Amino acid sequence: MRYDFGSDNTAGMAPAALKALAAVNVGYARAYGADEVSERAADLIRERLDADAEVRFVFSGTAANAIALSMLAQPYEAVLAHHAAHVCTDETGAPGFFGQGVGLIGLPGYSGKIDVGGLYAALEEPVVGHRQPPAALTVTQATEYGAVYSEEELRRLIEPAKQAGLGVHMDGARLANAAAAGFDLKDIPRLGVDVLVFGGAKAGANCAEALVIFDKSLTRRIDNRLKQAGQTASKGRFLAAPILGLLESKAWDDGAVHANRMAQRLADGIEMGTSFVLAHPVESNAVFVRMPDEAHQRLNAMGWACYQFDDGSVRFVCSWATTEAAVLELLEAMASLG
């Protein structure tokens, strides 16, 4: 393999995250997240969001999303989501598992953004006893197709959801990339998001994500919920430290800026130097390309890892570790395919 563009998960830990992890491996600290490192990391997240919120560190985005949704919907209710959202396509029913039966209702929309008309249509569906009514809305920032919602686009989704009595969750696995694209993190609590997953792994941490709960009425016995779900780390500082290192060093931001820039460099090169076309606008760190199956297979055989996404396009994801040299080599390989 020359380079893995299959996901930003394939990169290792960013140096700042690794350094912070090594630093907390010295001496002793209180267990189960009661340590100073976890508190400092939580404080920095609250500062970035300009909000008073409960913060907990968990082992995966899937668990964070599913537990968050289980807070917002009862087992006989459902969550409205874009049909290509991670919770719908890549979490093996985890929202239903953690939510003891919580359902998902897929909504349409281009590039992973929920269509406002589709949302209203779902909200206007009558509540009957034979199907799960919506109790929550989840939005993804940046989306599975690399699109970045503007503040106004989110407002047009969140306001009617709130008026209908729904809770709101944001999957921020790639929140750093959305911020690097110009999205103001402080808009998240202002818009009325109840629970946020603040991404760490894709930003250069290990397997850590932060569950940020703005609506504190949802936090009753949160630690019991997390413990039962296997998401309470006995050595909690090892989850929090990499995120703390990324935030203190600004690598959370700088790495995302770099990843977005590499994606744009790749997109420009594809448009100017190959016969392939982009399937979606490039707004963060992902590039989606219309490519015949044969060309895709040849590219993989040449050592360039990338895979076909849900809409049939081929996805290339850049990370904090993507080098311009790798991008240029990939472009040469793609140009050779015709």
Q: What is the pLDDT of residue 296?
A: 96
> For 75-94, what is the mean pLDDT?
97
Residue 229 has pLDDT above 80, yes or no: yes
Q: What is the pLDDT of residue 3?
A: 80
Q: pLDDT per residue over 174-193, tens digit each?
A: 999 999 999 999 999 999 99
DSSP labels, 12-32: ---HHHHHHHHHTTSS---ST
Half-sphere exposure of 157 (CA within 13 A, CB side): 28
**Residue of 270, 278, 280, 263 lying closest to 319 (CA atoms):** 263
Fold of 3-10+251-335: Aspartate Aminotransferase, domain 1 (3.90.1150)
Domain boundaries, the chain: 3-10+251-335, 15-249
Enumerate the β-bridge partners of residue 4. 305
Q: pLDDT per residue over 118-139, tens digit each?
A: 999 999 999 999 999 999 999 9
Residue 67 has pLDDT above 80, yes or no: yes
pLDDT band at 2 (very low <50, low <70, confident <90, very high): confident
Q: How far apart are CA 53 and CA 50, in angstroms?
A: 9
Q: What is the pLDDT of residue 1?
A: 65
Q: Hey, what are 153's tokens?
A: 């686009």
- What rounded mean pLDDT belongs to the chain? 96
Q: What is the pLDDT of residue 338?
A: 72
> For 17-24, what is the mean pLDDT?
97
Half-sphere exposure of 159 (CA within 13 A, CB side): 7
Q: pLDDT per residue over 273-321, tens digit each?
A: 999 999 999 999 999 999 999 999 999 999 999 989 999 999 999 999 9
Q: How far apart are CA 91 and CA 62, in angstroms?
A: 6
DSSP labels, 244-281: HHHHHHTHHHHHHHHHHHHHHHHHHHHHHHSS-EESS-
> For 1-13, what is the mean pLDDT?
88
| CATH 3.30.930.10 fits domain 15-249 | no
Q: What is the pLDDT of residue 267?
A: 98
What's the whole-model pTM score? 0.96
Percentage of the chain surpassing pLDDT 90? 97
pLDDT band at 4 (very low <50, low <70, confident <90, very high): confident
Q: What is the pLDDT of residue 196?
A: 98
- Give the other-Cβ count within 10 Å of 12's Cβ: 12
